[in-house]
Structure 1
Amino acid sequence: MQPHPWYEDAQLLRTLPLHLSVYGAYLRRMIDPETQLARGGSFLLRRMQDLIRWRGLPREQAFRVDGLTVHVDLLDNRWLWVLGELQGRGAEAQLIERTLGPGGMMLDIGANHGSYTLLAGRRVGPTGRVVAFEPQPLLARLLRQSLASNGMRQGTVHELALGEQAGASTFFIPAAGSGSGGLHAAFSAQGRHERLEVRVARLDELLPEPIPRENALVKMDCEGGELGALRGGRRALSSLPPLLLELNAQAATAAGSSLAELRDELQTIGYRHCAELSAPSRSEPLATLPLQPLRNVVVLA
């Protein structure tokens, strides 16, 4: 049985602060079951966030979703996506469920609030290993809290970005939501945004041993930083574990590269096949991978 959205959980709503309970109750009443949109929902969300700022209310909140506790930032619109991801309905969550088992390993590169880190941690269990990479300090701290709240000692959070060379760089966080945050201003700093200095490391320096091919998954979503992360992780990826990768031509261009270069790098590492996330069992030659439109794909040995 699929779990209900968070706003359908009456018991959860009763445990939340009043402003969140009101927002959830409004969604519960007004949501369109086909589009999953509520008329006036975005306006009410902005007013709720204004209330948090003006009244100095806590911006951090813990939710219990499908048996997992997640700590979120209510001033970051990404939190609504996080709750949906934890319900396990999306193709990414289903890929984690199919690919990983007890004792497995997952890398979550660009973890954000860590919904997939938590899903993978539950799947691999205490004998497995989940390594998350998130350069935004607030989100990295919230993810550590989420791992602790779920008793997931198998989870590790690295507060940094991955790249071809180690060092430091400016990270841009759009006001519209942290999900589009990244190292490249031409993509992540088009509107109102924050900026901060973050550490950049090479994956090969953090993981000296190759990631296993079996019972393993690498998820990479770093808004144009994928090519650099791959080049800095050739040894770690040399066993060719399945790679869940975002293809975003706009982000790649902003980073001074292209999706064709990204595909060439994957072939240099040794990957030869790919599959659409919607049909991961049907693989095609990586060389013929269509590079449009924006989507996630699974890259295979």
Structure 2
Amino acid sequence: MLLSRMRRILAQALSPDSSAKLSDVSQELATLGLTLMRLAFKDSATLIPPRQLLSLPRHKAESLSRERVRPLYLGDHRAVSTILARYKFFTDTRDVGFATHILTDGFWEMSLTRLMTKTIKEGMFVLDVGANFGYYSVLMADLIGPSGKLIAFEPNPIAAASAEASLNVNGFSSRSIVLRSAVSNTSGTATFSTPYNEPKNARLVPAGYISPDAEIIQVPTVTIDEICCNERKVDFIKVDAEGGEYQIYQGMEKIIRRDRPMIVLEFNAVREGAAALMDLILETHGTLKYLGSDGALHDVTSERIMSENVGEDWLLFLH
């Protein structure tokens, strides 16, 4: 039946007299592909390779992820679920902004997820700066394969422990390291604020900072230049640090100039040091691209980034 359906779709597409639109044919093929994938992985214990899942149209990959999410509460505010129809993933149930989506959808920021799947290759050395609970760390650790290496940086102790547990339970401990440090432009210690219900918005704050809605702790800081100076070539860096991007960029200039890694960086024009960060980016890269909501990379000027959608995040892709 499926074979007959495939023949019909292909015959329709190739017929010179066909009035079918290419988009309609592509949609039918995508639906057929999802049906075949569901049959191939009908046993819920069978894991779907990430590149196979994310080669589907976005809404179909999201649908399949939701079907496989299977959340399980472990007690003491911990839960485990399946992300991207493949990986076991630990979260903190007190987390509203991130864990809610993970436990019900099984994915996060699908545009960036798909970009990573297309960009990161086996054997790469990758860095996850601001790893949070390790969603991207787990994905990257799989994509780089046994010959690759991942270093994830996360100063929040609870999030770092969860990221480490997720990497270990999925079999990636031999190729990954979780450093419980913040990344900045100097090594030392700094004050770190973690909102109680939104740990994904944790950030470095000035000494003496006080908030009734956040846990305030002292954390170690490191620079990418120091951590990676004696490492092999860095291929890919993801930076999401809620306002610490300028200091992070300052602390990895040597690695950027030495290795020319691909960088995905969250940029917001109203954050402290935004203008100086943009000058530094233009000095090291010259041209800019951003990841759009359509999942594609688009050329963009610094003037547009600094003047449009002010206060909203741009996801820059630098290479």
Category of TM-score, reference length = shorter chain: 0.7 to 0.9
Matched AA of 1:226: E
- 2:280 is matched with which residue? 265
The Cα of 1:191 is off from its aligned counterpart by 6.1
- Flag the 1:147–1:261 CA change in 2: closer, same or farther, 3 A: same
What stretches of structure 1 of length at least 5 have no aligned partner? 21-56
Matched AA of 2:280: E
The Cα of 1:7 is off from its aligned counterpart by 6.4
The Cα of 1:300 is off from its aligned counterpart by 2.5
Query: Are 1:82 and 1:115, in contact at CA under 8 Å, matched by a contact in 2?
Result: no
1:283 aligns with 2:304: no
State the distance in 2 between where 1:82 and 1:160 align. Answer: 24
State the distance in 1 between where 2:211 and 2:108 align. Answer: 32
Matched AA of 2:316: V
* Structure 1 residues 193-250: Cα deviation after superposition (integer angstroms, max 9, x where no partner): 110110011111111157747xx32111101111111111111222221211111234
Count of matched residue pairs? 250
1:91 aligns with 2:116: no
- Flag the 1:211–1:95 CA change in 2: closer, same or farther, 3 A: farther
- From 180, 199, 212, the equivalent of 1:159 is 180
State the distance in 1 between where 2:141 and 2:127 align. Answer: 11
State the distance in 1 between where 2:100 and 2:305 align. Answer: 30
Query: Greater CA radius of gyration, 1 or 2?
Result: 2
User: What percent identity do the matched residue pairs reach?
Assistant: 24
- 1:60 is matched with which residue? 78
State the distance in 2 between where 1:299 and 1:223 align. Answer: 17
1:143 aligns with 2:159: no
The Cα of 1:118 is off from its aligned counterpart by 0.9
Query: Are 1:102 and 1:127, in contact at CA under 8 Å, matched by a contact in 2?
Result: yes
State the distance in 1 between where 2:185 and 2:196 align. Answer: 27
* Structure 1 residues 239-277: Cα deviation after superposition (integer angstroms, max 9, x where no partner): 221211111234x23xxx2x2111111233x21121120
Matched AA of 2:242: E
Query: Are 1:240 and 1:300, in contact at CA under 8 Å, matched by a contact in 2?
Result: no
The Cα of 1:104 is off from its aligned counterpart by 1.7
Query: Are 1:210 and 1:237, in contact at CA under 8 Å, matched by a contact in 2?
Result: no
Query: Are 2:128 and 2:136, in contact at CA under 8 Å, matched by a contact in 1?
Result: yes
- 2:241 is matched with which residue? 222
SS at match of 1:170: strand
The Cα of 1:143 is off from its aligned counterpart by 0.7
- From 125, 129, 143, the equivalent of 2:145 is 125
Query: Are 2:191 and 2:204, in contact at CA under 8 Å, matched by a contact in 1?
Result: yes
- Flag the 1:226–1:84 CA change in 2: closer, same or farther, 3 A: farther
Query: Are 2:196 and 2:215, in contact at CA under 8 Å, matched by a contact in 1?
Result: yes
What stretches of structure 2 of length at least 5 have no aligned partner? 1-33, 35-60
- Flag the 1:165–1:205 CA change in 2: closer, same or farther, 3 A: same
- Flag the 1:3–1:90 CA change in 2: closer, same or farther, 3 A: closer
State the distance in 2 between where 1:248 and 1:82 align. Answer: 25
1:111 aligns with 2:157: no
The Cα of 1:90 is off from its aligned counterpart by 1.1
- 2:93 is matched with which residue? 74
The Cα of 1:100 is off from its aligned counterpart by 0.8
SS at match of 1:164: coil
Under a length normalisation based on structure 2, what TM-score does the superposition of the two structures give? 0.70
Matched AA of 1:60: R
State the distance in 2 between where 1:222 and 1:130 align. Answer: 18
- Flag the 1:150–1:167 CA change in 2: closer, same or farther, 3 A: same
- Flag the 1:89–1:203 CA change in 2: closer, same or farther, 3 A: closer
1:237 aligns with 2:256: yes
Query: Are 1:82 and 1:113, in contact at CA under 8 Å, matched by a contact in 2?
Result: no
- Flag the 1:93–1:179 CA change in 2: closer, same or farther, 3 A: same
- Flag the 1:296–1:127 CA change in 2: closer, same or farther, 3 A: farther
Query: Are 2:62 and 2:105, in contact at CA under 8 Å, matched by a contact in 1?
Result: no
Under a length normalisation based on structure 1, what TM-score does the superposition of the two structures give? 0.74
Query: Are 2:68 and 2:106, in contact at CA under 8 Å, matched by a contact in 1?
Result: no
